[in-house]
Amino acid sequence: MSAQRMARELRRISAGAGVNRLGRRLRLAVGLLMLAVPLSGCGTGALWDKFFAKDDTFVEEPADKLYNEGLYLMNQRHDAKAASKKFEEVDRQHPYSDWARKSLLMSAYAFYNSGDYDSCIGAATRYVTLHPGSPDAAYAQYLIAASHYDPIPAVSRDQGRTEKAIAALEEVVRKYPTSEYAISAKAKLEGARDQLAGREMNVGRYELEKRNYIGAINRFKTVVTQYQTTRHVEEALARLTEAYMAIGIVSEAQTAAAVLGHNFPDSRWYKDAYNLVKSGGVEPSEDTGSYISRAFRKLGLARN
């Protein structure tokens, strides 16, 4: 029924009802309707929508109820994303409560479990900033480090995330050396360093193939001086032997082979390095003044 027709019907009804109370009410309704009709092209739809809209008044929920719902969603339903929303709601509705502090950490954990590492880093960093003296600060710091470490890319790609992981893992070990998380952080540190060493080896091999011996030496030198405890160091020493022999710096080649033989006598890489220097008419012999010897001496791995 159109607005004009509704108005006519209301006038008819009100006329038949006299001046009684119902009539007055109907005339009032007619007046309101007639007022609204000319404005129909001026946004009255939104006005009527607001008038008849459902009441969405915000209702605050108890902090413990929201927190426990989050735990249920995470532990029973295994829905980490939905759980994180519940924990965030605790922080939003009850920002100064002890539940908010607990929820912030649980939110970081939920983000980590769902693979949303950037959100985990954000929540955990906020926790460490707001609650540095909390017994759970060590765990929050570990979540930051793990969120950098877990998505580490292949060695052929940019390793910026790996470098951030190393910095965050070292922070765990430095700040919380006696915590249970320091042990795990140290293990991850070795994995991250191995990744960076792998990147250097990847580039070094490419340079060696192109006979850019200086470029290759610089890459293998980084592995030998910075990543001596990684699995790549044996090959790095052998590659240094090869590159130095190729450019005629025999003493460094002899040292690389000697250090390799001293630390990894059964390595297949040592056999290659040994045969290479022998083919040049010399034996493996360590020059203790070489950077190669000094790098391993720091770790107690070189001859004195």
What's the pLDDT band for 97 if we cut at 50, 70, 90? confident
To the nearest whole number, what is the mean pLDDT of the chain? 83
Q: Please report, rounded to a whole number, the percentage of residues in the chain having pLDDT higher than 90.
A: 61
| Three-state secondary structure readout of 179-232 | CHHHHHHHHHHHHHHHHHHHHHHHHHHHHHHCCCHHHHHHHHHHHHHHCCCCCC
Q: Of 26-35, 73-82, 84-93, 126-135, give the range with the top mean pLDDT.
A: 126-135
Which pLDDT score, from 0 to 100, does residue 147 have?
96
Between CA 43 and CA 45 the distance in angstroms is 5
Q: Tens of pLDDT along 198-248? A: 999 999 999 999 999 999 999 999 999 999 999 999 999 999 999 999 999
Cβ-defined contacts of 219-223 (< 8 Å, 24+): 221/291, 223/197
Specify the CATH architecture of the domain 63-193: Alpha Horseshoe (1.25)
Q: Tens of pLDDT along 165-186? A: 999 999 999 999 999 999 999 9
Between CA 284 and CA 274 the distance in angstroms is 7
Which pLDDT score, from 0 to 100, does residue 29 have?
47
Between CA 86 and CA 73 the distance in angstroms is 9
Determine the average pLDDT of the residues in 95-121: 91
Determine the average pLDDT of the residues in 149-153: 91
Alpha helices by DSSP H, 17-62: 21-36, 44-52
Which pLDDT score, from 0 to 100, does residue 45 have?
53
Cβ-defined contacts of 154-162 (< 8 Å, 24+): 155/195, 155/198, 155/199, 155/201, 155/202, 156/199, 156/202, 159/195, 159/196, 159/199, 162/192, 162/195, 162/196
Which pLDDT score, from 0 to 100, does residue 2 have?
42
Is residue 49 pLDDT above 80, yes or no?
A: no
Between CA 233 and CA 223 the distance in angstroms is 6
For residues 176 and 23, the model is more confident at 176
Q: Where are the domains of the chain?
A: 1-33, 63-193, 208-297
pTM of the predicted model, to two decimals?
0.71
- Which residues, in sequence order, are CB contacts of 239 under 8 Å at separation 6+? 201, 204, 205, 208, 216, 220
Between CA 34 and CA 303 the distance in angstroms is 103
Which pLDDT score, from 0 to 100, does residue 163 have?
93
Which pLDDT score, from 0 to 100, does residue 63 have?
80
Determine the average pLDDT of the residues in 47-68: 64
Helices (H) and strands (E) in the chain, counts: 15, 0
Is residue 18 pLDDT above 50, yes or no?
A: no
Is residue 54 pLDDT above 70, yes or no?
A: no
Between CA 226 and CA 154 the distance in angstroms is 20
Is residue 110 packed enough to be buried (19+ CB in 10 Å), middle (13-18) or exposed (0-12)?
A: buried
